[in-house]
Amino acid sequence: MNPKLTKLFWRCHSACAIYTGGFLAFIMITGAFAMFAEEIYRWEHRDLYRTDARELDVSVLPEAVAQASQSLATEGREPQLIALHLPRGPGEAVRASFYNTSFKPKPFVLNQPWLMNSVFLHPETGAQLGIGQDDRSLSTYLRLVHVRIFAGTLGRNFVGLFGIALTFLCVTGLVIFFKFLGGRAMWAIRRRPARAANADWHKLIGFVLLLPTLMFAVTGFWLGMQGRLMEWFSIERPESYEREPVIDATADTAHAVDIGGILAAAQTVHPHLVPQEISWSDDGTRTVRIRGRIPGTIYERFSQGVVFDKADLSVLKVIDTPNASWKEKLFYIQEGLHFGDWGGLGLKLLYLIVGLLIGVLPLTGYAIYRLRSRQSLVPFWRWIGFGTAYIVGMIGLLKGQGIIVTASYGTIALLLFVAGLIIYWVQGGIRGALRTRSKTRQTPAPAASNA
């Protein structure tokens, strides 16, 4: 490759890494642990999951769910059933998860009404075993900090855009990789100087994990920008089903739900489906939806299923991605690849190691940059401390003075981060221009020729 073109790619790679590397490291490291959100949730509520039941009596569940909803409907709260999660095996409780439709967050109020709760039910009797606060669990925090950085849809889009930066770093890094090997073996790691050691480890990890990094980058961009992309390109979720109300909402809420019949009908219509959760309507549409997974497939969790009419259990829609179009397969493969839910605990542990190693790449890259320019690494940690104090202090000031009331803490932190990044870019450009101008002035004019 032309040396000038190689140098251009190297500069683009370095510039992109300097301005996005810190956040990419944060996203990769938090994502490595967010993959275990479900396992962490089950560990947090392990005492509520354990029961002495030997089998599941589905006939008691509809009434148990109604009683659970009534027990949560206190002090103006309006619980709405999200799903009834079926037990994985004998002796495990049934979990009914609810969403509080009347929830309105208030700044600086700790004891706020809950947003999401789960009521654990005995699988044989339907008795309530306890309540889990889903929105305050560690598993939920891990998902929120990785997917949305506590900034709602804006934060999710912001994280998704960094998928483009990670893709760019992969492409430019591959272009300059062999040029910078310098004829040495890829696995040959020099011990001294420190810059050379960092550079060797950086190149080795980056090349070996190139494909997983690209996979995380592309799927992360899609998942982060999914709502926007679906809106811009008129894309509908394949499992979505809309139906006009056929009865009154009150009658729909009171309508009996035959869970046993639903499970039997689903086994007939969708024989490969492993049922995991059931939900039913309360808005007059008179529908029941059963979701689950198909063993041996890589698709998004809870994406497969069947929609029934609540009255006669007639089939309204079947979601069977393995037998669907390539577009539907592509749609559902994104989250499965990104979080590794389809491969069990072993694959998640592999994802954990890979994610942490990828998260180290921006740190080694920044160390190379500092050492190459003969700068100490100490100011880097000073910037981290200053930036954290700046964001926390500004949030307290803006919220405390009532200047910003409706925005979430994550949204304010994101805006402050972007503002600080812009200031950093501007001051860096000004300082660079001043240094260049100073060097130009100090450079002596060439001596006149005597010829």
Predicted confidence (pLDDT) at residue 159 exceeds the cutoff of 70: yes
Judge whether residue 215 has pLDDT over 90. Answer: yes
403: left (phi over 0), alpha (psi -120 to 50) or beta: alpha
Taking all residues of the chain, what is their mean pLDDT, rounded to a whole number? 82
Residue carrying structure tokens 């050492």: 371
pLDDT at 420: 64
What band does 134 get if pLDDT is binned at 50, 70 and 90?
A: confident
Residue range 361-384: average pLDDT? 65
Could you report the per-residue pLDDT of 15-52, keeping only the tens digit for each?
888 878 888 888 898 899 889 989 999 998 999 999 99
Sorted by where each begins, the domain ranges of the chain are: 46-136, 245-323, 384-434
pLDDT in tens, 172-214: 999 888 777 666 777 777 777 777 777 888 888 899 999 999 9
Top mean-pLDDT range of 239-248, 370-379, 406-415: 239-248
Q: How far apart are CA 185 and CA 450, in angstroms?
A: 52
**What's the pLDDT tens digit per position in 306-331?**
999 999 999 999 999 998 888 899 99
Helix (H, G, I), strand (E, B) or coil at 89: coil
User: Looking at the chain, how many residues does it have?
Assistant: 451
Residue 278 DSSP class: E
Model confidence pLDDT, tens digit, residues 42-74 = 998 999 999 998 899 999 999 999 999 888 887
Highest mean pLDDT among 57-71, 150-164, 389-403: 57-71
| Residues 6+ positions from 447 with CB-CB distance below 8 Å | none
Using left for φ > 0, alpha for ψ between -120 and 50, and beta otherwise, residue 118 falls in: beta
User: Residue 109 pLDDT more than 50?
Assistant: no
Q: How confident is the model at residue 6 (pLDDT cuts 50, 70, 90)?
A: confident
Closest CA to 60 of 89, 94, 87, 88: 94
Tokens describing residue 160: 């998704």
